[in-house]
């Protein structure tokens, strides 16, 4: 607390109006989850994390075995948020133009002139599900990651902006198979959260199957629209983050880097590379998003706690020794959290 | 979740009509096809369940004849696409072409639907085509629609894909990724006929007589029966049994048997439980039974699980295939004890 002019960062200019938006965010979140519950059984944590990412304006990676409702979750969210949705199956022969689009020759009917017209690719959509992104060669992966970052496509000297909001939900195959192109660390870093979806408990699987093989159909109601989302995303960024919590986040993330002095011994042993600056940024943003969804204008410790695992999961590289000792990134993150005391915030 | 369907509320006459219809279809197909009862039965079952089939077998085993006869018997449109290394997604889904209006001279882009706009599509030798083209077909199968330069076109209903794979190791094939095989309800094996049946085929196909297949059901009736199939009630313990079969095949699961941990790289997904129950419902309905039995689940377990249980390197080196895993799963998972 050495800078009295700025005790908390990110405060809104009009607190009452901000709180009013946050109240709407909270109500919308409850309604959205209620709609999703009509079709999706279980998977509370993944639903929560995907919503946190979307309200923070980030992209997310979804990991998990096939058939764990990854696509279903994405399509349902698109429906309740009234957003356009496209799924792209990544294959070894997919080209950058299959994602972003191509120019085609078209004739102007009145003048007879031929002009190049841009045929928009599937990336021109609010939600893009990039399925099995590590099945495609690096050039095509890079094309997707570039549009993710820039939110626009540049072709033949022209720039075409993507629709707003724009979210990428990517899946990777976890099968150790020939012909996969692992996403480089720097590219994984562009995804805000990494969400893990697992097989359901048997009881839940029974109720899913009873429903999915019956003649019943469920219609999802639209809860919010793109404009609401844009307003919500601004409100999320205006949520205040107490300085102690910012310090805690930076310290925790820094302790994952094996080259930093004073990092724990298990990090030196098991970690090849630690989490970068984007990790601290994204933990902060995810915590703000979680606070906003609870209708609060200030981040609490519990918001930060929830954000750590999904942010760190894809940002820590394990050493060979960790593989031998069967230590996972989750284990490392858990131990980092235990080693770094949480600040006491009122 | 699902409202409880009861046996009493099942329309008995509709079920009776369905069994009669199925018997007629089978006897029409018999006019053209000799033998292969199991394959014919499984394909018909998947038809009434609304799922797609993947058939593995060498050429010349009447796959095309089977599926085109089925199309004739149900009055459905039928197309066959030979998959080749140079086939492009647009060759399946369709393309936009520049057309000139003769009267006004104006040029317009018009959509020419591809062969996928049909009720029954035979995708022959799907593993001969590169992944992007395979993905285009699988996407259309899943979504029952195609998107071409920004416009979405809905496919005809019913829509059914029967894809074949040639099992002989050959250069220049692109094996279908395991996860994409998951989109097929059934994986079936078609084998050479026994010798006496092969003789009967030679006799039948080298004469001048041609089999005439009569229409015995329409596409809209088929859609109604697909709905009827989904209304067949299934007892909770039976669903639980199907789910247990699928979940025990996952090597990471807490109660996975030892042989699964040793030999399975990747177990069956929830789609397996879904298709076992749906397949069992179709089997019960086709037999005129207004409830699903354990035997229904067991009999669809092989075609549903075969392509969904992926064995590991150790299994391969010891010559263990997914069929053996399924056999041992059926022994290891106790069926529900009620008299179903």
For residue A43, the chain B residues in CB contact (below 8 A) are: none
For residue A173, the chain B residues in CB contact (below 8 A) are: 177, 179
The SS3 call for residue B91 is helix
Task: Give me the pLDDT at residue A2, please.
Answer: 41
Any idea what the Cα angle at residue B280 is, between residues B277 and B286, rounded to 5°?
Answer: 145
Nearest to A62 by CA among A111, A147, A143, A133: A133
pLDDT confidence band for B339 (50 / 70 / 90): low
For residue B266, the chain A residues in CB contact (below 8 A) are: 65, 175
**CATH 3.40.50.300 spans which residues of chain B?**
12-206+215-231
B33-72: pLDDT as tens digits:
777 788 889 999 999 999 999 998 877 777 888 888 888 8
Cis bond upstream, residue A165 (ω within 30): yes
Q: Which two tokens stand for residue A259?
A: 């080259």
Which residue ranges form the domains of chain A, and what is each CATH number?
A: 9-237 (3.40.50.300), 239-339 (1.10.8.80)
Contact (CB<8Å) A205/B243? yes
Q: Which pairing describes strands B120-124 and B160-165: parallel, antiparallel, or unpaired?
A: parallel
For residue B269, the chain A residues in CB contact (below 8 A) are: 65-68
Interface check for B271 against chain A (CB to CB < 8 A): the answer is yes
B87-140: pLDDT as tens digits:
888 899 888 877 777 777 777 778 888 999 999 999 988 888 888 899 889 888
Any idea what the Cα angle at residue A55 is, between residues A54 and A57, rounded to 5°?
Answer: 65
Contact (CB<8Å) A65/B134? no
Interface check for B153 against chain A (CB to CB < 8 A): the answer is no
Q: For all residues of chain A together, what is the average pLDDT? A: 88
Residues A23 and B130: their CA atoms lie apart, in Å, by 51
For residue A69, the chain B residues in CB contact (below 8 A) are: 270
CATH of domain B12-206+215-231: 3.40.50.300
Cis bond upstream, residue A194 (ω within 30): no
Residues A312 and B122: their CA atoms lie apart, in Å, by 47
The SS3 call for residue A111 is coil
Interface check for B95 against chain A (CB to CB < 8 A): the answer is no
Contact (CB<8Å) A68/B134? no
Task: Give me the pLDDT at residue A235, please.
Answer: 94
Residues B299 and B283: their CA atoms lie apart, in Å, by 9
Q: How far is CA A314 from CA A185, A331, B227, in A?
A: 8, 13, 44
Task: Give me the pLDDT at residue B57, please.
Answer: 82
Q: Which two tokens stand for residue B174?
A: 């692109």
For residue B150, the chain A residues in CB contact (below 8 A) are: 119-120
Contact (CB<8Å) B5/A214? yes
Interface check for B17 against chain A (CB to CB < 8 A): the answer is no
Residues B175 and B165: their CA atoms lie apart, in Å, by 9
pLDDT over 60 (residue A138) = yes
Report ipTM (2 d.p.).
0.80
Helix axes B294-305, B270-286, angle to 10 degrees: 130
Task: Give me the pLDDT at residue B169, please.
Answer: 62
Contact (CB<8Å) A209/B274? yes
pLDDT over 60 (residue B2) = no
Partner A, chain B 178-217, Cβ-Cβ below 8 Å: 178-180, 182
Q: What are phi and psi of B203, to 5 degrees?
A: -60, -45
pLDDT over 80 (residue A6) = no
For residue A68, the chain B residues in CB contact (below 8 A) are: 269-270
Q: Which two tokens stand for residue B243?
A: 């789910």
A33-51: pLDDT as tens digits:
999 999 898 889 999 999 9
Interface check for B250 against chain A (CB to CB < 8 A): the answer is yes
Give the A-side interface with B, CB within 8 Å.
Answer: 65-69, 86-87, 89, 91-94, 98, 106-107, 109, 119-120, 122, 132, 135, 173, 175, 177, 199-200, 202, 205-216
For residue B135, the chain A residues in CB contact (below 8 A) are: 89, 91
Contact A23, A31 (CB under 8 A): no
Residues B285 and B44: their CA atoms lie apart, in Å, by 12
Alpha helix segments (H runs only) across chain A: 15-39, 44-55, 70-80, 96-100, 138-150, 185-188, 202-212, 226-237, 243-254, 265-270, 277-293, 301-312, 320-324, 329-339
Task: Give me the pLDDT at residue A176, please.
Answer: 55
**CATH 1.10.8.80 spans which residues of chain B?**
233-340
pLDDT confidence band for A5 (50 / 70 / 90): very low
pLDDT over 70 (residue A178) = no
pLDDT over 90 (residue B330) = yes
Percent of chain B with pLDDT over 90: 37
pLDDT confidence band for B176 (50 / 70 / 90): confident
Interface check for B238 against chain A (CB to CB < 8 A): the answer is no
Q: Which of B1, B99, B248, B275 to mutate to test the interface with A (most CBs of A within 10 A)?
A: B1
CATH of domain B233-340: 1.10.8.80
Contact (CB<8Å) B132/A93? yes
Partner A, chain B 160-179, Cβ-Cβ below 8 Å: 177-179
């Amino acid at each position: 607390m050495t800078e009295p002019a700025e005790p908390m960062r990110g405060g809104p200019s009009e607190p009452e109006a901000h709180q009013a938006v946050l109240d709407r965010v909270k109500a919308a979140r409850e309604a959205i989850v209620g709609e999703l519950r009509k079709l999706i059984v279980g998977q509370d944590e993944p639903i929560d994390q995907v919503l946190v990412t979307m309200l923070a304006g980030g992209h997310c990676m979804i990991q998990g075995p096939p058939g764990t409702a990854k696509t279903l979750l994405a399509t349902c969210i698109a429906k309740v948020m009234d957003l356009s949705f496209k799924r792209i199956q990544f294959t070894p022969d997919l080209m950058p133009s299959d994602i972003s689009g191509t120019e085609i020759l078209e004739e102007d009917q009145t003048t007879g002139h031929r002009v190049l017209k841009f045929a928009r690719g599937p990336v021109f959509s609010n939600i893009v599900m990039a399925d099995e992104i590590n099945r495609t060669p690096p050039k095509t992966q890079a094309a997707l990651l570039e549009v993710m970052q820039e939110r626009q496509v540049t072709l033949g000297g022209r720039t075409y902006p993507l629709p707003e909001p724009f979210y990428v939900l990517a899946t990777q195959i976890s099968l150790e198979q020939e012909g996969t192109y692992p996403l480089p660390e720097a590219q994984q870093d562009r995804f805000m959260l990494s969400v893990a979806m697992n097989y359901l408990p048997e009881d839940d699987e029974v109720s899913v199957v009873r429903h999915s093989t019956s003649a019943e159909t469920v219609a999802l109601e639209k809860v919010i629209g793109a404009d609401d989302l844009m307003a919500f995303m601004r409100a999320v960024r205006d949520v205040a983050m107490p300085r102690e919590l910012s310090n805690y986040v930076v310290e925790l993330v820094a302790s994952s880097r094996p080259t930093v002095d004073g990092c724990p011994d298990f990090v030196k042993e098991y970690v090849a590379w630690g989490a970068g600056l984007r990790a601290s940024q994204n933990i902060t943003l995810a915590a703000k998003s979680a606070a906003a969804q609870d209708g609060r204008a200030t981040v609490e410790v519990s918001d930060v706690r929830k954000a750590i695992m999904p942010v760190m999961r894809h940002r820590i590289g394990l050493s060979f020794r960790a593989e031998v000792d069967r230590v996972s990134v989750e284990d490392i993150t858990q131990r980092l959290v235990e080693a770094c005391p949480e600040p006491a915030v009122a | 979740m699902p409202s409880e369907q009861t046996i009493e509320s099942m329309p008995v006459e509709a079920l009776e009509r369905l069994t009669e219809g199925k018997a007629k279809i089978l006897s029409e197909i018999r006019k053209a096809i000799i033998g292969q009862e199991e394959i014919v039965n499984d394909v018909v079952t998947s038809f009434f369940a609304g799922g797609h089939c993947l058939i593995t077998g060498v050429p010349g085993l009447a796959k095309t004849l089977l599926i085109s006869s089925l199309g004739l018997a149900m009055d459905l449109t039928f197309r066959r696409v030979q998959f080749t290394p140079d086939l492009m997604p647009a060759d399946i889904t369709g393309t936009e072409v520049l057309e000139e209006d003769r009267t006004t001279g104006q040029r317009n882009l018009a959509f020419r639907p591809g062969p996928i706009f049909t009720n029954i599509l035979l995708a022959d030798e799907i593993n001969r085509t590169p992944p992007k083209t395979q993905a285009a077909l699988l996407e259309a199968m899943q979504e029952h629609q195609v998107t071409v330069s920004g416009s979405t076109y809905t496919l005809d209903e019913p829509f059914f894909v029967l894809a074949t794979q040639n099992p002989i190791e050959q250069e220049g094939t692109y094996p279908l990724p395991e996860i994409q095989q998951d989109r097929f309800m059934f994986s079936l094996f078609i084998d050479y006929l026994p010798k006496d049946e092969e003789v009967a085929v030679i006799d039948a196909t080298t004469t001048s007589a041609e089999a005439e297949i009569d229409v015995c059901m329409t596409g809209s009736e088929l859609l109604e029966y697909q709905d009827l199939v989904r209304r067949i009630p299934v007892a909770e313990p039976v669903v639980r049994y199907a789910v247990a079969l699928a979940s025990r095949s996952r090597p990471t699961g807490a109660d996975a048997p030892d042989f699964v941990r040793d030999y399975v790289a990747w177990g069956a997904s929830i789609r397996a439980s879904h298709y076992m129950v749906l397949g069992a419902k179709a089997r019960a309905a086709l037999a005129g039974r207004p409830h699903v039995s354990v035997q229904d689940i067991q009999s669809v377990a092989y075609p549903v699980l075969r392509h969904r249980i992926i064995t590991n390197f150790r299994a391969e080196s010891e010559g263990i295939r997914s069929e053996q895993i399924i056999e041992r799963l059926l022994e290891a998972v106790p069926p529900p004890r009620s008299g179903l």
